[in-house]
C-alpha cells in the first residue's frame, strides 16, 4: 500500500465522532463567540438574577423562567435567588427527575452566554444546557441539542437527529431494556451525533458561551472555543427554549440570550 493510500485509509477509518473535535487551528484565540453574538446579534433576553424569588417553586424564579419539573415536588425548594446568584439544588431523587428550567429563546443562529460555577457542594456536579422545540413532531420532549459539562469532560450532542429522534429512541430503548449492546449501525450513527473532549471541572466562576451557526454548534469557556461539532440537528430553524438540566448543584449568576438570525 502506498503512503497516500495508507493515509487515506487511516483517515476514513478514524472514528467519525473525533473528526470535529476542537481544533485550535480552526479557532484561533481571535475567534470569540461572545464577540460574534455582540457584533452580529440582538440581545433578546438578559437575567442578572438581582432579586429574591417570590415562593418555593422553580417557577418563582420569575422573569419568565418556567420549569417542567417544578410541579413534581412543589414542597421542596430547588432554586434559590441569593445575592444576585441563582442557586440550583435538584431534588432529583424525590422528583424522579433532574431539575429542569427553561426560558423562551427564539432564534435559528445565535446562542447563550452564561456565568456559572459548580459550588462543590456535591460530588459529580454537572450541567446540561441547550435548546428545545416542543412544537416540532418526531422529537422526544422537543430536545434539540445540548452542551454537557461533567467533572471530567465536555460534550456536544445533536439530540434532534440522534438519541431523541423518536424512531431512533424507540429502537435504542429495545436494546437498553434487554441490556444488550447496540447494533453496530445504530451505535455508529449515535457516535456521529456526539463529540467529547476531556476537561477538569473546578469551583471557579466561568463564562460559558453556547452557540449554533448553521449546522455547527460551539461551546466556549472563558473566551476560548473548547469544542465544536457539525450535525444536521444543530441547524434546526427554531431554538424555541433555552434550558438548563441540573442533576445536582449549580450556581448561575447571569444569562444572556442572543439572536443572530
Ligand atoms: Ca447576578
CATH number of the domain within which 149 lies? 2.60.120.200
Give kind and range of the element (H or E) at residue 195.
strand 194-198
| CA–centroid distance, residue 76 to ligand 1 (Å) | 23
Mean pLDDT of 148-172: 98
Distance CA 114, CA 112 (A): 6
| CA–centroid distance, residue 122 to ligand 1 (Å) | 22
| CA–centroid distance, residue 114 to ligand 1 (Å) | 10
Q: Give the global pTM.
A: 0.89
* 15 alpha carbon, distance to own chain's centre: 22
| CA–centroid distance, residue 83 to ligand 1 (Å) | 7
| CA–centroid distance, residue 109 to ligand 1 (Å) | 26
| CA–centroid distance, residue 195 to ligand 1 (Å) | 31
Give kind and range of the element (H or E) at residue 221.
strand 216-221
109 in a structural domain? yes
Domain that holds residue 85: 31-259
Nearest Cα residue to 172 out of 155, 194, 189: 189
97 in a structural domain? yes
16 in a structural domain? no
At residue 94, the pLDDT reads 93
The CA-atom distances, in angstroms, between 38 and each of 12, 35, 47, 62, 258 are: 38, 5, 16, 25, 8
182 in a structural domain? yes
- pLDDT reading at 13 higher than 70: no
C-alpha cell at 189: 450513527
At residue 62, the pLDDT reads 92
pLDDT band at 26 (very low <50, low <70, confident <90, very high): low
Nearest Cα residue to 206 out of 115, 125, 85: 115
64 in a structural domain? yes
From the CB of residue 10, how many other CB atoms can be counted at a distance below 10 Å? 9
pLDDT band at 23 (very low <50, low <70, confident <90, very high): low
Main-chain phi, psi angles of 252, to 5 degrees: -130, 130
Residue scoring higher pLDDT (118 or 56): 118
Total domain count, the chain:
1
| CA–centroid distance, residue 254 to ligand 1 (Å) | 5
24 in a structural domain? no
Mean pLDDT of 91-120: 96
| CA–centroid distance, residue 205 to ligand 1 (Å) | 12
- Cβ–Cβ under 8 Å, residues 159 and 144: yes
2 in a structural domain? no
- Cβ–Cβ under 8 Å, residues 65 and 103: yes
Distance CA 23, CA 226 (A): 9
| CA–centroid distance, residue 48 to ligand 1 (Å) | 4
56 in a structural domain? yes
Amino acid at each position: 500500500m502506498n503512503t497516500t493510500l495508507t493515509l487515506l485509509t487511516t483517515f476514513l477509518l478514524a472514528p467519525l465522532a473525533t473528526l470535529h473535535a476542537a481544533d485550535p487551528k480552526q479557532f484561533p484565540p481571535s475567534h470569540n463567540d461572545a464577540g460574534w453574538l455582540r457584533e452580529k446579534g440582538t440581545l433578546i433576553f438578559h437575567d442578572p438574577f438581582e432579586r429574591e424569588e417570590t415562593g418555593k417553586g422553580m417557577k418563582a424564579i420569575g422573569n419568565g423562567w418556567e420549569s417542567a419539573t417544578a410541579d413534581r415536588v412543589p414542597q421542596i425548594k430547588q432554586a434559590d435567588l441569593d445575592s444576585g446568584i441563582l442557586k440550583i439544588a435538584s431534588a432529583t431523587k424525590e422528583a424522579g427527575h433532574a431539575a429542569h428550567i427553561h426560558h423562551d429563546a427564539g432564534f435559528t443562529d445565535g446562542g447563550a452566554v452564561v456565568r456559572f460555577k459548580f459550588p462543590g457542594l456535591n460530588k459529580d456536579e454537572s450541567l446540561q444546557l441547550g435548546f428545545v422545540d416542543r412544537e416540532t413532531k418526531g422529537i422526544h420532549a422537543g430536545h434539540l441539542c445540548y452542551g454537557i459539562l461533567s467533572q471530567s469532560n465536555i460534550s456536544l450532542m445533536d439530540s434532534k437527529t440522534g438519541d431523541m429522534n423518536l424512531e431512533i429512541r424507540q429502537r435504542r430503548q429495545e436494546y437498553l431494556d434487554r441490556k444488550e449492546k447496540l447494533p453496530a449501525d445504530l451505535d455508529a450513527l449515535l457516535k456521529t451525533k456526539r463529540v467529547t473532549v476531556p476537561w477538569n471541572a473546578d469551583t471557579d466562576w466561568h463564562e460559558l458561551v453556547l452557540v449554533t451557526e448553521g449546522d455547527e454548534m460551539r461551546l466556549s469557556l472563558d473566551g476560548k472555543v473548547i469544542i465544536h461539532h457539525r450535525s444536521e440537528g444543530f441547524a434546526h430553524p427554531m431554538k424555541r427554549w433555552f434550558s438548563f438540566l441540573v442533576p445536582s448543584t449549580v450556581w448561575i449568576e447571569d444569562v444572556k440570550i442572543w439572536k443572530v438570525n
